[in-house]
A and B are shown apart, each in its own frame.
Chain A
Amino acid sequence: MSQPFRLASGGRIERSRVLRFEFDGRHYEGHPGDTLASALLANGVRLVGRSFKLHRPRGILSAGPEEPSALVRIGDEPNCRVTRVALQDGLRAVSQHAWPSLRHDFGALADRCAGLLPAGFYYKTFMRPRALWEHVWEPALRRMAGLGRAPEGPDPSRYDHAHAHCDVLVVGGGPAGIAAAVAAGAQGARVILAETLPEFGEVADRDALAALPEVRLLSGTTVFGLYDGNYAVAVEECAAGRVRQRLWHIRAGRVVLATGAQERMLVFPGNDRPGVMLAGAVATYLARYGVAAGRRAVVFTNNDSAYRVAALLEQAQIAVAAIVDLRREPGPAARQRGHGTPFFPGHAVVATAGRHALRRVWVQRLAEDGGAVEGARIALDCDLLAVSGGWNPNLQLFAQAQGRLVYDGRRAAFVPAEAPPGIDCVGAAAGEFDETPPLPLWLVPAPGRAFVDLHNDVTADDIALAAREGMTAIEHTKRYTTLGMGTDQGRTGNLAGIGLLSQAAGRSLAATGITTFRPPVVPVGFGAIAGRARGRFSDPVRETPMHDWHEAAGAVFENVGQWRRPRYYPLAGETMDQAVRRECLAARDRAALFDASTLGKIEVSGRDAARFLDRLYINRWDDLAVGRCRYGVMCRDDGMVFDDGVGTRLGDNRFLVTTTTGNAAAVLDWFEEWLQTEWPELEVFCTSLTEEWANATLVGPRSREILAALAPGLALDRAAFPFMAMREAAVAGLPARLFRISFSGELSYEINVPAECGLALWEALIAAGRDYGLVPYGTEAMHVLRAEKGYFMVGQETDGTVTPLDLGLAVKTADFLGRRSLLRSDLARPGREQLVGLLPDDPGEVVAEGAALIADASASAPLAGHVTSSYFGPRIGRSFALGLVAGGRARHGETVWAAADGRLTPMRVAAPVFYDPQGRRRDG
């Protein structure tokens, strides 16, 4: 018979429709409205998984997010809680953590050796011999560790993000939450009501709620984080459609936490057997899904709430073999139990039996002080043990938002104390339970393994061991035993763990306290967090106006910040080294073209522009003539190099400064920070022009001839347009600013045109250069060319600890940001690392960038510095490098040794300029 445990009636499922699904290859049926858990139970499936550490058989404990045991893989996704998976037609679930099969799991040997695997065993067992760690213990442990298998391919699902604002966010759609939403909505407040379950409860207020247009109902939505300023983050399970989940960012004026309460487990020997279930979950399966979790139940409780469950079971014609209550004098609810139901007040379940499913439990009387069990053991046949260990208010969100919890001994639970501003708890979350107090007995004192944390297989003995070994702070115990560190976050067992630790440490539970709650409250997939920000949407991509041309030319690109820049342009069959060599030689011998559009460009204007720049740079600007350019370097006020570039005076009160590609935004921020916070009296305006201008840099000895063909009206001879000058002219009919600047060491023109003209300029230069052997070159050749000239690169030769003096730069005497720091004794001391050139003894060997430099080849040689740039220089015909070497400028001619790739390479220290040291080629 299909679904033998489905009741004839009841539940909020759609019985007229049948959904077919598979678990471990076997076929089952369920109905719309089922979870995978309720459908499995309806089909009598008890054994669902194997435990994390000991591979013990486990079933379904709960009906909600607290589920510690029943985790399965669905498709590629591991660790899905069966209690949270809505049943769908064709769903295929597979058990995890068992081999070769769920029923016959080889890993269960671990359970036989459990005595060898106490808390912290991996800290103790695998210490020695030390040599075995890397090759034996660690690989073996890695194979055994972890739960489930990570998916391999990209997540095929689609996720959305949504942002919302409201006056009141109500978390939890039970009676208290709905009442709060109705009350707030009736006053005209904008309300969001978020409920984890796919639908709201059947309560009278539902219609009242529907009549309030400003109340937005989010069902299937779990608020999992509550941050400063009532900023809540929630994940919504979307109905079948294109989007699987939606992540909500909600900013609320007030937050009402109607998150309810969580039932706790009792800790007794054999409490982890499939068929042991939280009493509340038994009721949920009956009422919501019309499923009997067993045919013959024993109810085991320390509080009144489980008596309602016993009554529900009896109403559903399910035999209640006994009610066992730890309390000798149960509350008033006990009087309403069924006539003839065997009743054991002051008793405890002391053992269970059944290999893959519960068959029997044994009950024994509890001694008056709760410290022992006594008398005869009574055997009770049953296939379901409904357990209630009392209730905890769900205060994860409250605690995340810095709400303070206190332990209430009467209710035996942590309850909210001081609420943060704008946050309220209502209903069960506020600790409003109407039953008589539970009996907080944290462990049934009977022999056998009793589990505190079913997810991570933490037993009561493990807690005692941790306490004996000195881990008496709850945060230490947690980390040592892994108590509460599973994906269920120990919802059902943590309090018992804290209680046991308190007893072992001889102090009150209030003094022991509770571990810190951190988001997320429930596991949230990375897919939902990423949303649409995946692949090319993960970060903006910036392309220059000439990008399409580079792509068509077959350029290989590299990412520089958000920019995509051509790295080199390989011809058919060329390697990167061959292409870079060809591009370098073209620049040195003929002509080459470089897309420098990504350089940061900031226009600095206003009455005090020159004064302002003078305060920021190590060099002067006030004496620069209009139409001339100057190289400039900036420091932070600590004296370390921050950025460099070329400034051009466009007018008396107007400068254009360039920045490195990566620092364009940071430099603009830097300018604005000083202007706004320190020097508001200066009249200066900063405008970013980076994306307004395209820059095609024409380089090489033939560049003047190529440019002459395109700019017939412009005098190009050396006197008329000298090095470090700017001209405005038409180039290929386009309005252009031309800068005679050189980062390659060759005669060079940086031709700037409005961005929309960039491609036209580039194509005109390529066409005009064809007869001169002009080739495009990328960032790799640019690096080689600049390094041959000894030009340092911010971020390559500098790393935030390098001063202009270390780089051999001169600084002016007037004050600028960083100047006072350069006079500090530590920055002026001899022996600081200085920029040098380095020539490997073997002219064919290119040493790895970043290689450490040592003063001699002995093992005890002190560190002398490191290699910052290293290339093969095609025109100088050998390998070379730049590096920072202690006292390097006084060590030219000495040999240092580069340590990289497990060997030492001798290199001669030299001046950092390897090509055209007089600058004749640059000056053209």
Chain B
Amino acid sequence: MTSLASCLLLSALLFAIGLAGALMRRNAILVLIGIELMLNAANLNFIAFWRYGPNPEALTGMIFVIFSIGVAAAEAAVGLALIISLYRHTRTANMDEVNSMRG
């Protein structure tokens, strides 16, 4: 009984959880994990619309998810490198204390 609406609701829920983590957690790594969850929610939407869409044999939704996973992997690598660099500078991964650019 997998319906399109239940897939979309699961995706919206995952997106909201990821957004909550990205906006509300203090640790920078948790912020990155939240962004990964939001990307996964978007991927689930692509797959659901590919499955229920009018022209699944063109495979466009699937190919889009493959590229999206590649871009997300690049984003995770660069983001974690930035966090490690930030930690070397400030000895913390705490988003509240990284405020040297605050006006």
Do A and B originate from a single complex?
A: no
Residues of A within 8 A of B (CB): none
